[in-house]
Structure 1
Amino acid sequence: MSFTVAALYRFAPFDDPAALRAPLIDLCAAQGIKGTLLLAREGVNGTIAGSAGGVAAVIAHIRALPDCADLDVKYSTAAALPFQRMKVRLKKEIVTMKVAGIDPARDAAPYVDPADWNALVDDPDIVLIDTRNDFEVGYGSFKGALNPHTRSFGDFPDWWRANAERLAGKRIAMFCTGGIRCEKSTAFLKSEGVEDVVHLKGGILAYLEQVPAGESRWRGSCFVFDERVSVGHGLVEVGEGE
């Protein structure tokens, strides 16, 4: 038996995220779903796993929430259930940056589809920035990408401000695991006056799912936040190392 895994997020205005928590807990329990969902005034983020029908029921419920019809979801499979319990948590942010006034729903930079990403990786005039932390980058990254060596996403604004002068005027392309950190980090760069910035639509997971291994510019595997540890092309489980 295999299990369906769904990594999801949506920046959406929730007036009362606490009111959304109990119905999600009840639905996940009824459907046998495990994983983690984060709720905040800026939206929803998380990864869940279970039967295909159970995951579909939870996704349908979230899509019915305010401004969540276009919920970003990336599906994969796992041979064993990659979570032991279900957590639905209330947070100040669904991905923590600690910079006031950032609105990814309004200000995120343009997307680049996975099919078009290799052209940016191969362009010597593009500065490719990996917005994940140093531990994640250790599993793999795109050829030639800049690693900020952050310990957490909240360190990224300080790293950018320390390096903004040397990167001024450059065209910047950013990526992360599933897209959520890039929506927020590109919105942050735009708030800092950067105009020429784009990011990978659907993140590394979409790239590994859609781009054939023979054409790939990815090196290594992609760390994921569950018991599979990391995945490779086709989102096949890799584990601790490739």
Structure 2
Amino acid sequence: MDNTSMLGRKTTEESIGLSSKTRFMVETALMIAIVLIMGNTVLGTIPTPILKASIVTVPVALAAMLIGPQAGIICGLVFGLNSFVGAFTGSSLMLSTLFSINPIGAFFTAVVARVLDATLVSFIYKALHRGKLKPASYYITGALMPIFNTVFFMGTLCLFFYNTEYVQGMVTKYNATNPFAFVVAMVGVQATVEAVIGCILAGTLGVVLSKVLHRG
């Protein structure tokens, strides 16, 4: 192979690499925009006969499924940071109160918990998608994202704030005898509803979009 042919091949490979990076950036930016829109409008919730279920984890799950773990983690971070901003704007009374008690604890509860959720579920999806559960991996990921979001959020809440007067007031309200009972009483039903909706919505969208976008 002459030098000209080798140079042409190298240029083609570099162009493909640049295109791949650009596509990743554009698609991730789109998912970030969707996370922010849903996180700041009524589009991020679905009213049910029981409660309003949050579906902000859906674009995070889709980012992990359609773009990759890195995109899922980035969207999880954006989800958490957007939530944390609520502590300053007053849009989240709980986070505002938590921030006034322990700013670091509030950051872990709002941001770190969401990053851990996105990281864990993104790699679970990657593992499942390579194995025999590939057809179901979309639905499992759609369900796991809201489940682990609740687990990590409430886990850090209890870790940093369970013994505070604010949380103990809620513990008394729910007549809970321990942290586990408190979590189940406070968000058990909501977590279940969000997991079912996430499974159906994110799972179905993941299957359809993966075919449309030709993503294996």
Give the TM interval when normalised to the shorter protein: under 0.3
**Structure showing the higher strand proportion among its residues:** 1
TM-score normalised by structure 1 residue count: 0.25
TM-score normalised by structure 2 residue count: 0.27
Name which one, 1 or 2, has greater alpha-carbon Rg.
2
